[in-house]
A and B are shown apart, each in its own frame.
Chain A
């Protein structure tokens, strides 16, 4: 052991993991510790594993991930706010052989784009939606989102969200799971290695559904942190997320192969 030096280990033949080539070398514009980067990377790893980089078209949203096309080294379109599922629908119908996915945050998918999301899911478009839920509008400065938890402090609910006057958090994933057009609906997270592996398997299944032309839309929610918006350190925000977000947004598959696996 003592004779082994770092130079003996760090050799090209011993390489077991490096960032995928489908992410550009641009430094991601996300805050330190943001789950967006991990979600980007595992999405691109899945596309690389299926060898789909030539035939995949991604739709970037408006929000923190508006610059996703700067980091994902595949064909991308940036849609108007909330309209990514509508743009994805159009592309998939014009190019049925392409693999189309949209990558959206909660301000995009669950607020301004609720109509597009629900109708794309209800029509059963054969696309993949990756939904990052951090319970806050991160890019604009941490305002309350439809997904903000009751009592959660944001810049527009400084004393915490009051359900009586501000409404209930929107569980859009459970909502779309009820629609007959969705084929695979799941909720995952990316805060620990085990969670990242599970999320990657879920994204893989979603793309596999589209590759094999399964009848319906695959919807992957990723509960993520927003340490800047929540005013916490990255590690603390992950602990806070486990303690507060997961009871309200429980992880796991909600609909598999067109069948609801658990009723809420």
Chain B
């Protein structure tokens, strides 16, 4: 059976760490990192990448448009 897998790429330097994407993800894939970017923000990253289906919810709510979404069937 075909399975849909996805992945996101976060522009770490532009992410402001607001965390809006974290509750928007239906599979709890995203978390804010322990490290900080150049501006001192805890940027978002894929904490549980196996769960990502590429549904784009995080990218749609991201106020800064820093999330790029990829999706494919395997």
Q: Separation in Å of the B32 CB from the closest CB of chain A?
A: 11
Q: Separation in Å of the A236 CB from the closest CB of chain B?
A: 10
Question: Would you call A14 and B18 a contact (CB within 8 A)?
Answer: no
Residue A11 is within 8 A (CB to CB) of chain B in the complex: yes
Residue B47 is within 8 A (CB to CB) of chain A in the complex: no
Residue A193 is within 8 A (CB to CB) of chain B in the complex: yes
Question: Would you call B63 and A35 a contact (CB within 8 A)?
Answer: yes
Given A16-B69, A33-B20, the answer on whether A9 and B62 have CB atoms closer than 8 Å is no
Residue A17 is within 8 A (CB to CB) of chain B in the complex: yes
Question: Would you call A6 and B18 a contact (CB within 8 A)?
Answer: no
Across-interface contacts of A227 in B (CB, < 8 A): 18
Which of A17, A36, A197 is B69 in contact with, Cβ under 8 Å?
A: A17
Residue B5 is within 8 A (CB to CB) of chain A in the complex: yes
Cα–Cα distance between A20 and B56 once the two chains are bound (Å): 14
Across-interface contacts of A30 in B (CB, < 8 A): 63-64
Closest partner residue, chain A, to B70 (CB atom) = A14
- Count of chain A to chain B residue pairs whose CB atoms are closer than 8 Å in the complex: 100
Residue of A32, A196, A234 with most partner-chain B CB within 10 A: A32
Across-interface contacts of B62 in A (CB, < 8 A): 37-38
Question: Would you call A1 and B50 a contact (CB within 8 A)?
Answer: yes
Question: Would you call A16 and B71 a contact (CB within 8 A)?
Answer: yes
Question: Would you call B49 and A6 a contact (CB within 8 A)?
Answer: yes
B contact face: mostly helix, strand, loop, or mixed: mixed
Residue A175 is within 8 A (CB to CB) of chain B in the complex: no
Interface size of A by CB at 8 A reads 38
- Among A1-31, those with CB < 8 Å from B are 1, 4, 6, 8-11, 14-20, 23, 27-28, 30-31
Q: Separation in Å of the A223 CB from the closest CB of chain B?
A: 15
Across-interface contacts of A31 in B (CB, < 8 A): 16
Q: Separation in Å of the A92 CB from the closest CB of chain B?
A: 28
Residue A161 is within 8 A (CB to CB) of chain B in the complex: no
Closest partner residue, chain B, to A23 (CB atom) = B65
Which of A19, A197, A235 is B68 in contact with, Cβ under 8 Å?
A: A19
Question: Would you call B20 and A16 a contact (CB within 8 A)?
Answer: no
Across-interface contacts of B29 in A (CB, < 8 A): none
Per-position binary interface string of chain B over residues 33-74, scored 1 when its CB falls under 8 Å from any chain A CB and 0 otherwise: 000000001000000011000101101111111111111101
Question: Would you call B70 and A235 a contact (CB within 8 A)?
Answer: no
Which of A4, A10, A190 is B74 in contact with, Cβ under 8 Å?
A: A4
Which of A14, A33, A37, A190 is B19 in contact with, Cβ under 8 Å?
A: A33
Question: Would you call A19 and B63 a contact (CB within 8 A)?
Answer: no
- Among A29-75, those with CB < 8 Å from B are 30-38, 41
Residue A126 is within 8 A (CB to CB) of chain B in the complex: no
